[in-house]
Copies of this chain bind each other. A is one copy, B any other.
Amino acid sequence: MTIRVGIYGYGNLGRGVECAVRRAPDMTLAGVFTRRDPAQVSILSPDVPVYEAGRAPAMEGDIDVMILCGGSATDLPVQTPQMAAHFHVVDSFDTHARIPEHFAAVDKAAKAAGRLAVISAGWDPGLFSLNRAYGQAILPDGADYTFWGPGVSQGHSDAIRRIPGVADARQYTVPVEAAVAAVKAGENPQLTTRDKHTRVCYVAAEEGADLAAIETAIKTMPNYFDQYDTTVHFVSLEELHRDHSALPHGGQVIRSGVTGWNGEEHHVISYSLSLSSNPQFTASVLVACARAAWRMARDGQTGCRTMLDIPPALLCPQDPDTLRRTLL
């Protein structure tokens, strides 16, 4: 049985899903949906149709799982419930504070239509959430630490681009190695925002721009930069595009906790990701979740789920006997 996947939105993430479906032995890409003119959208797969987004509802019989590849700010809150009326769906909704409200909306739509939805898949939220859950379940007396990077923060890069005089910019979030080392050594440090990460910015300024003013505007920007030690490097537009066009990211979730009658034993669980392309990796998680969504639906489940609700075996193409024989 082949799972027929649709991609709704074709940017970096959608292209990543296209690549990941190609590596899935049990899936086929049935169509790509775009709000642009389909004739102008060139995809990687030779024989897959590109449709106008509005065509999607008419294709209920052709697609099993629709993977939503839009943004969390305005696309997914509308699109995921909409598509859940027609397909099993997976999204990467990552506005942490609004997940309960998104969950409720998608759950309602999916239940009404008898569909299965997985939201907030990816690595944070997603794999990092899983590791926080496993860590807290196993070591209830302990502390969680999450470090991000080294990697590109697109939100922070965008914030710099909005400063007058900035032509383009790229911001790297960098964990403070000494803080990571202290956590891994089980020292349970109390860490401020500034202790955990630094921010490194590469900025191409417009000709004649006031560089000192740009640097001050960056370093004092509330929430984005003012609570961090920030370094600003001015580079040419050519250098920026040549050396800083990739989207690497990653990070670590660490649980440090005690066991024993009097807390005399100490354990550290560390989960770490090093990703050369954030959207490609996130897409690979979405595709594994599409498999799980399809299987949960096949078993008669409907409504909304997150990765916290997915039995790990459902993410794997192998059957349960093979998994037990080869992975346990």
Contacts and interface: CB of A to CB of B under 8 A. Distances in A.
Interface string A103-144: 100000000000000001000010101101110111111000
A271 B130 CA distance: 12
Contacts of A44: 261
Kindly state the interface size class of chain A when it binds its partner.
35 or more
A19 B132 CA distance: 22
Contacts of A313: 133, 308-309
Secondary structure class of chain A's binding surface, majority of residues:
helix
Contact of A259 (B129, B132, B261, B281): B281
A324 B312 contact: no
A249 to B, nearest CB: 10
Of A96, A265, A271, A284, chain B has the most CB atoms within 10 Å of the CB of: A265
A137 B307 CA distance: 13
A137 to B, nearest CB: 4
A125 B327 CA distance: 8
A259 B272 contact: no
Nearest to A257: B284
A149 to B, nearest CB: 14
Given A137-B288, A259-B23, A273-B269, A308 B328 contact: yes
28 contacts: A16-B259, A99-B328, A100-B324, A100-B325, A120-B328, A125-B328, A127-B134, A130-B312, A132-B327, A133-B323, A137-B291, A138-B285, A139-B284, A259-B277, A259-B281, A260-B277, A265-B280, A268-B274, A269-B273, A270-B270, A270-B272, A271-B271, A306-B324, A307-B312, A308-B320, A308-B323, A308-B328, A309-B311
Nearest 10 Cβ contacts at the A-B interface:
A137-B315, A308-B313, A265-B277, A125-B328, A137-B288, A259-B280, A270-B272, A268-B274, A265-B280, A133-B312
